């Protein structure tokens, strides 16, 4: 059962920004510094990641304007490739695209809160569980309530990020940037592997597609939300990481114990930046502000994720119960399923494993969408496209090239993450077989 259009441009753009900005930019820098001890190489990493996200957003803006239906990769791969591809994307993305990132963001929230409140540091999983439970309950109310909460928390998130950058420009002590062999590092496997953390941080550039069927005037508002949101976040990411690198020494981001052969990565990077700017009290204030921004990230994904499952349920009769929406428009059964998946991940998985699994799985699905985009342009050149990307095929090809390059090095250096992700996708395709008679017809 479809839901009426309740979301405007501001809400759609807020969903894009809030889905993108969160755990990655505030928590993964220490993993990059460990592999790439050079400031310029790390900033190039974020710029290339932004370029890949922008090319993907442009192509998805065209696809979404022509197919304004909720469901994200599920709907697009069903139309562009095959219902089996959409079926696999729908189920795997419930874990890799939403439950996993929500779990990671909730754990990062616990890490920041733990700097302020010792109880949270002792019980990080319990704090994360409480956060996702409260926000899931909020989004079971009317859609408009969740959308308004999303806009307010996203505006606050942007204010915090601008404040960090402005403070770094005005107050950061003069110091030479950490330098290494920039070109050599950029050509190394470590650079490609580090891209998975950046790709993870940029995931969400297509978030408006997950609620496309609930956006007013989608032919205009979807492209605007996707493109403006992605551009804004790319600029912010580069500026915030420059600020963190100038404020926090590499030695504080990664603590290496040669004797024990252990590496301790710091998730609460913003807390360290606040301490460098304003001392311990400033660290507490900045840490609290970033913890609140992560509430926006969790909220955005809890809002968008169930729409994928609900759209899949609308197409596949055996899962129809999950597509039901109450009078306020929220798919409560789908929200409950997502909440259960989040709980399982919080209890069983580590932050690093979750990030790797997300990076591989979603990159593969997004590459599939870009291949479908190219196929659609070639096979249906006369299709009506309310928004048409200039140089669309080269844009899609560049996205596939950047992500394929990352995948090759990941397969060599993070073999288990790749195997788990590919195995999950293969399992979802096998599960498609007994349900294939219920599959929606291909429309591309």
Q: What value does the mean pLDDT take over residues 189-208?
A: 79
Residue 112's nearest CA partner among 275, 381, 264, 294 is: 294
* Residue partners of 429: CB distance under 8 A and separation at least 6: 84, 87, 88
- Worst-scoring range by mean pLDDT, 239-243, 245-249, 259-263, 346-350? 259-263
Residues 444, 441: Cα–Cα separation, whole Å: 9
Overall number of domains in the chain: 1
Asked, for residue 344, whether it belongs to a domain, the answer is: yes
Closest CA to 100 of 312, 360, 320: 360
> Mean pLDDT for the chain?
80
Residue 188 lies in a domain: yes
Asked whether residue 412 is assigned to any structural domain, the reply reads yes
Calculate the CA 99 to chain-centre distance: 11
Spatial separation of the C-alpha atoms in residues 8 and 32, rounded to whole Å = 37
- The pLDDT value given to residue 405: 84
Least confident of 92-96, 245-249, 393-397: 92-96
Question: What 8-state DSSP symbol labels residue 95?
Answer: I
Residue 442 has pLDDT above 70, yes or no: no
pLDDT in tens, 49-106: 898 888 888 898 888 888 777 667 888 888 888 888 888 888 887 777 788 888 888 8
For residue 119, being part of any structural domain is answered with: yes
Contact assessment for residue 358 and residue 335, using Cβ atoms and an 8 Å cutoff? no
d(CA 385, CA 41): 38
**Residue 234 maps to a domain:** yes
Structure-token match 């950061």, residue found: 172
Q: Considering only CA atoms, which of 218, 379, 209, 397 is closest in space to residue 304? A: 209
pLDDT at 44 over 90: yes
Does any domain span residue 439? no
- Give me the phi and psi of 203, to 5 degrees please: -55, 135
Phi-psi region of 204 (alpha: psi -120 to 50; beta: other; left: phi over 0): left
Is 443 inside a domain boundary?
no
358 in a domain, yes or no? yes
Per cent of the chain over pLDDT 70 is 86
Position 4 pLDDT exceeds 60 = no
For 114, the 3-state DSSP assignment is: helix
Give Cα 351 to chain centroid, integer Å.
14
Overall residue count recorded for the chain in this entry: 444
- Residue 258: its pLDDT value, please? 43
Domain of 354 in residue numbering reads as: 9-433
User: Which one of 203-217, 315-329, 428-442 scores highest in mean pLDDT?
Assistant: 428-442
pLDDT over 90 (residue 374): yes
Cβ atoms of 279 and 8 closer than 8 Å: no
Distance CA 357, CA 304 (A): 19
Q: CATH code at 106?
A: 1.20.1740.10
Assign 259 a pLDDT band (cuts: 50, 70, 90): very low
Distance of CA 294 to the CA centre of its chain: 12
Taking the C-alpha atoms of residue 347 and residue 353, their distance in angstroms, rounded to an integer, is 13
- For the segment 319-357, what is each residue's pLDDT rounded down to a tens digit? 777 767 665 667 778 888 889 888 888 888 666 677 677
Taking only the tens place, the pLDDT of each residue in 130-174 is 999 998 888 877 766 767 777 787 788 788 888 888 988 888 777
pLDDT value of residue 133: 92
Q: Please determine, for residue 255, whether its predicted confidence score (pLDDT) is greater than 90.
A: no
pLDDT digits (tens, 9 = 90+) for 265-304: 556 677 788 888 888 887 888 878 888 888 877 887 787 7
378 vs 37, residue with greater confidence: 378
């Amino acid at each position: 059962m479809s839901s009426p259009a309740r979301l405007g441009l501001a809400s759609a753009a807020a969903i894009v920004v809030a889905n993108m900005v969160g755990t990655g930019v505030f928590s993964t820098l220490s993993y990059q510094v460990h592999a790439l001890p050079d400031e310029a190489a790390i900033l190039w990493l974020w710029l290339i990641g932004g370029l890949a996200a922008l090319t993907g957003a442009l192509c998805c803006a065209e696809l979404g304007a022509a197919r304004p239906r909720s469901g994200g990769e599920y709907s697009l791969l069903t139309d562009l490739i095959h219902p089996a591809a959409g079926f696999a994307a729908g189920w795997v993305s419930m874990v890799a695209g939403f439950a996993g990132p929500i779990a990671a963001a909730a754990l990062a929230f616990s890490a920041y809160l733990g700097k302020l409140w010792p109880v949270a540091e002792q019980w990080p999983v319990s704090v994360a569980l409480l956060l996702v439970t409260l926000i899931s309950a909020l989004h079971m109310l009317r859609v408009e309530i969740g959308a308004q909460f999303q806009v307010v928390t996203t505006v606050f998130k942007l204010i915090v990020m601008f404040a960090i950058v402005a403070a770094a420009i005005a107050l950061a002590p003069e110091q030479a940037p950490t330098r290494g062999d920039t070109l050599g590092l950029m050509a190394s496997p470590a650079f490609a592997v580090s891209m998975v953390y950046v790709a993870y941080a940029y995931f969400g550039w297509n978030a408006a597609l997950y609620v496309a069927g609930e956006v007013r005037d989608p032919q205009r508002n979807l492209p605007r939300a996707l493109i403006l949101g992605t551009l804004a976040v790319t600029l912010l990411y580069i500026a915030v990481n420059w600020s963190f690198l100038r404020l926090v020494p590499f030695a504080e981001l990664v603590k290496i114990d040669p004797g024990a052969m252990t590496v301790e990565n710091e998730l609460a990077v913003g807390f360290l930046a606040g301490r460098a700017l304003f001392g311990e009290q400033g660290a507490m204030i900045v840490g609290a502000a970033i913890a609140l921004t992560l509430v926006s990230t969790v909220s955005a994904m809890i809002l968008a994720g169930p729409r994928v499952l609900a759209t899949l349920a609308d197409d596949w009769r055996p899962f129809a119960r999950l597509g039901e929406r109450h009078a306020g428009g929220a798919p409560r059964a789908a929200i409950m399923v997502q909440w259960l998946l989040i709980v399982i991940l919080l209890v069983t998985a580590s932050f690093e494993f979750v990030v790797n699994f997300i990076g591989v799985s979603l990159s593969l699905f997004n590459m599939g969408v870009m291949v479908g985009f190219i196929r659609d342009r070639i096979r249906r050149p006369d299709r009506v496209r309310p928004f048409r990307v200039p140089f669309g095929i080269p844009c899609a090809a560049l996205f596939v090239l950047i992500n394929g390059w990352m995948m090759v090095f990941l397969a060599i250096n993070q073999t288990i993450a790749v195997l788990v992700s590919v195995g999950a996708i293969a399992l979802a395709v096998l599960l498609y077989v007994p349900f294939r008679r219920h599959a929606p017809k291909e429309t591309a």
